[in-house]
Amino acid sequence: MNKRIAIVTGAGTGIGRATACRLAKDGITVVLVYASSKAGAEQTLAMIEAESGEAHLYQADISNEQDVEGLFKYVLGSFKQLDIVVNNAGIGSMGMMADITTAEYERVFNVNCRGCFFMCRAAAKTISDHGRIINISTGITVSAQAGMGLYVASKSAVEGFTKALAHELGPRGITVNAVSPGMTNTAMLEGGDSALLKKIGAKNSVMQRLGEACDVADVIAMLISADGRWISGQNIHADGGSVIL
């Protein structure tokens, strides 16, 4: 059996990097997709190769339709198959609704929503039977706190894509799930008062600690494995119990 082939977007840092490293450790060949931070992606590549894993770099802006089409063409042309897509690339945004500019709306939705749509559409056309699609959302879609409306709205769309695509691809044995991290110790927390956010993140978790990128990567790896074959159309909160529904 051929090695499984995975695409991981936003692979140059944080959850994307941790996921790519975990999948490579599990024997999966990973295409590391980055938009602008080649140095970060190269560091991820070096980490994987140091552990005798296999990975390949690819530059693409997922909000650009032609870039996404080129990415999937490259993967199929190079490896003849595609088994896993992890739509991790995303950007954060904080601001009260009255103050959000149209430019900021377009910036966030272009990546988080439009980009996810392009990736899901391309995956639906090309992924192998019994494949896996994971879309990264966020735990705060269930609370929509003040100042987070734009980010929450963009990620709510991601969850909608996930549910619909699970129905559409299920007959082919393909599972589609969302994974929603809580506050996680990644660069995304550095956009505000990082010390305060980390303290809040630890307090919110029933585990009483801040999540790490590897905590989320391990959940993604489980869903991708054979053990995750009967889970589809779900939003898995990988957050140490920060959200208990």
Query: Rounded to an integer, what distance in angstroms lies between the CA atom of residue 109 and that of residue 169?
Result: 25
Provide the terminal-to-terminal Cα distance of the chain, rounded to the nearest Å. Answer: 40
**Tokens describing residue 108:** 């966030």
Tokens of 124: 């639906």
Tokens of 192: 């505000």
Quick check: is 151 catalytic?
yes
As a whole number of angstroms, the distance between CA 19 and CA 154 comes to: 22
Q: Largest Cα–Cα distance in the chain? A: 55
Contacts of 1 (CB under 8 A, 6+ apart): none
What's the number of CA atoms in the CB half-sphere (13 Å) around residue 105? 9
In the set 34, 58, 105, 151, the catalytic residue is 151
Q: Nearest CA to 183 among 139, 244, 129, 117?
A: 139
Catalytic residue numbers read 151
